[in-house]
Each structure stands twice: as C-alpha cells, then as structure tokens.
C-alpha cells in the first residue's frame, strides 16, 4: 500500500531514495546495515582465526623446541650415567690394581722372611768351620736363584747355551740379515743391574738383543721375560737355553717376579718387552705397567735399576732373508719411587718417547724411516 502523493515522489525520486522507499515498502529497510555489521563481524572473526592459527604455530615451534631439549636432557642424563658407571669401573680396577700390588708386596715380604728365617744363625756362622765356608762359596741369593730357576725349568745351560748362541748369532742371524748394526752401544751398562726395554716388531728381536748386549759384548747373558707364546716351538727351545723365562701377562706368578728381582739383585741384565706383544704396524708406542712395577719392586728391595730403552728396526716388514737390521740403545732412565702415580705415568711417557726415538734411529740406519706419532 502506497499512500496518495507518494507515487509521484517515487517516480521523481533519486535512485537511492527510490530504493529506500521500495525497501521500506517491502519491510527490508535495515538489511544492508545488518549485512554490513555481519560482514564486519565476519572480518573480525577471520582476523581472530588468523591470530589463533599464528599462535598455534608458535606453540608448535615451542613444543618442538621443548621436545628437542627434553631429548637432549635425556641423552645427557644417559651419558652422565654411563660416565659414572665407567668412572666407577675405573676406580674398581684401580682398587684391584692396588690390592694386587699389596698382595704381591706381601707375598714378596713373606717369601723374603722365610728365606731369612731359613738362613743359619749368625753366631753359628761365626763359630763354624772356615774350611766348610770356603768349600761352599754359593751365596744365599745365588742359592735362591738356582731354586727358582729349577722350579721354572729355566736357566743358562752350560752345554746348550754356547751351542744355541752359535746357532742363533753365527748362523741364523748371519743368514737372515746381511747387515746387523748396533747404534749407541755406550749407553749399555756392562756392570750392575740393568733392565732393557726394547720395542717389539718381530720374533727376531729376541735374537738381536743377545747379539748386541749378550755375553760376547757385555760379558753376561740377557735374561728375557717373555710371554708364554714366545716360549713355544724351536724359538722357545733356544730362548729357554739362553736364559729366558716365561711370564703370564694376565696373572704373573710370584716365582717369576721374584726370579726377575733376584736376577737384578745379582747384578744381571733382564730384558722385558714393555709393549706386551709384537706390533708389526707402525703406530704410537703404548706401554703396559709391568716394567715400571718390576723396577719399583726391585727398588723397594734396595736394588736401584736403570732402564735402558732399545729400538729395533728392519729394512723390510716382516724381515726377509738377506735384509738389514739395526738396534739402537737409548740413554738409561731412572725409575721414580713407588707410590707416586703421577711420576710413574710421566716415566712411562718418557720411556715410550725414548723407545720411539731409538726405533727411529734404527729404522733410519736401515733405510726405512719411521715417522713421528
């Protein structure tokens, strides 16, 4: 229904006014306003959704970082636990090592006490017959050495030792190596106890050392401490008759250790490979603690033992017939007092460096230089 007079106004009205009149007539005059308000609300809702999505992405990044940190923390905790376990194991091994040293020292002291108690009374010696003393010139130390050598079935055989020396030095070495060099022989003491610490690169090492430091050179034999595997076969037969004796690296017997100490106390020269086994490849020298412990045990018994580093080198690896061989003596080293672990570690480092230097000189002499490590 349109009132009178409105038709003319409707016809002559502007389009916007005409639209407003028609919308009013249709009852939808506020639709555009409500639509605009709805659009504004929708825009605001979209903005809120965008902000919520951005916040969600930020939270996801933070969550990923937290998860990474949690994984790193768990990994750190596991590594810390492993380090603690390893440290506990190392402390346990150190305790075992200390306990082993105490046990060895106690056994040595007990054995020494038994030897002292087995000696004759000094008064009886003074009142005894001087003729009987002259007829029995063997000292208690030499008697103990003979007893231990018999128990280990080792020692210098008066018949086989010269034959073995001739076979190894005059035949085997001459046929194997066309040239055998000895460098710095002045570093080898010819009197008093001495502990030789050679590198170990081939089985020929055990034959080269008597050639350079044995009876023909120093007037005394090389008493080798070698592994049980070294004492097998034909080589072991010769080594045994040249005065070598086996030692179990995992659990050395008191008889073996006491024999080595008594040999040093008797002023002999003992040979011990401090690397523990043959190393055929060129690498940094790593020493086992057995040599320094033996020297310190002898020192605790009142025997001061110089340690002479020795380096051996061959022109070919492994040594082949008619190749060249060289042996170099280093300057003697003094062993630190027992109980100073830092000094002992420092001594092992110095000994390894001296052995490496001697080996470099020996290798250079045969035309096969050795690099530094």
Higher-confidence residue of 255 and 330: namely 330
Is residue 367 within 8 Å of 315, Cβ to Cβ?
yes
What is the residue extent of each domain of the chain?
139-365
Cα separation of 136 and 145, whole Å?
16
pTM for the whole structure: 0.64
Q: Which CATH class is domain 139-365?
A: alpha beta
| Band of residue 208 on the pLDDT scale cut at 50, 70, 90 | very high
CA 328 to chain centre: 25
DSSP class per residue in 320-339: -TTEEEEEEEPPPEEPPPTT
pLDDT of residue 128: 47
pLDDT digits (tens, 9 = 90+) for 294-328: 888 888 888 899 999 999 999 998 899 999 999 99
Give the pair of three-digit tokens for residue 162.
Answer: 């010269």
DSSP 8-class letter at 145: H
Pick the closest to residue 264 from 347, 181, 191, 192 (CA basis). 192
Question: Is 223 a residue whose pLDDT tops 60?
Answer: yes
Whether 125 has a pLDDT exceeding 60, the answer reads no
**103-120 pLDDT, tens digit each:** 766 766 666 566 545 544
Contact 191, 156 (CB under 8 A): no
CB 312 within 8 A of CB 208: yes
Q: What are phi and psi of 74, to 5 degrees?
A: -65, -40
Number of CB atoms found within 10 A of residue 34's CB: 10
Query: Which tokens go with 97?
Result: 């090592």
């Amino acid at each position: 229904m349109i009132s009178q007079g409105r038709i003319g106004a409707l016809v002559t009205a502007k389009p916007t006014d005409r639209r407003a009149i028609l919308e009013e007539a249709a009852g939808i005059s506020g639709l555009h306003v409500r639509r605009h308000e709805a659009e504004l609300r929708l825009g605001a809702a979209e903005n809120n959704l965008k902000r919520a999505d951005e916040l969600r992405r930020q939270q996801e990044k933070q969550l990923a970082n937290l998860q990474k940190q949690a994984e790193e923390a768990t990994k750190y905790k596991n590594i810390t636990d492993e380090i603690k376990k390893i440290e506990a194991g190392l402390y346990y091994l150190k305790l075992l090592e200390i306990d082993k040293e105490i046990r060895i020292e106690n056994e040595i002291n007990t054995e020494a006490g038994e030897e002292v108690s087995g000696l004759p009374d000094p008064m009886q010696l003074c009142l005894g017959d001087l003729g009987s003393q002259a007829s029995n010139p063997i000292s208690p130390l030499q008697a103990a050495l003979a007893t231990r050598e018999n128990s280990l079935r080792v020692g210098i055989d008066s018949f086989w030792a010269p034959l073995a020396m001739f076979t190894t030095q005059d035949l085997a070495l001459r046929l194997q190596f066309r040239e055998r060099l000895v460098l710095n022989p002045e570093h080898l003491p010819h009197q008093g106890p001495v502990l030789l610490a050679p590198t170990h690169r081939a089985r020929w090492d055990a034959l080269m050392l008597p050639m350079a430091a044995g009876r023909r050179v120093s007037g005394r034999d090389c008493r080798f401490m070698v592994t049980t595997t070294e004492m097998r076969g034909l080589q072991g037969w010769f080594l045994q008759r040249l005065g070598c004796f086996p030692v179990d690296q995992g659990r050395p017997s008191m008889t073996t250790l006491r024999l080595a100490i008594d040999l040093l106390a008797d002023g002999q020269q003992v040979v011990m490979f401090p690397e523990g086994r043959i190393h055929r490849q060129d690498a940094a020298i790593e020493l086992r603690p057995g040599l320094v412990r033996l020297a310190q045990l002898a020192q605790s018994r009142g025997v001061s033992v110089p340690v002479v580093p020795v380096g051996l080198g061959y022109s070919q690896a492994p040594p082949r017939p008619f190749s060249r061989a060289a042996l170099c003596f280093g300057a003697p080293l003094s062993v630190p007092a027992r109980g100073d672990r830092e000094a002992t570690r420092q001594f092992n480092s110095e000994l390894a460096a001296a052995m490496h230097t001697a080996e470099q000189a020996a290798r250079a002499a045969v035309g096969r230089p050795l690099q530094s490590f």
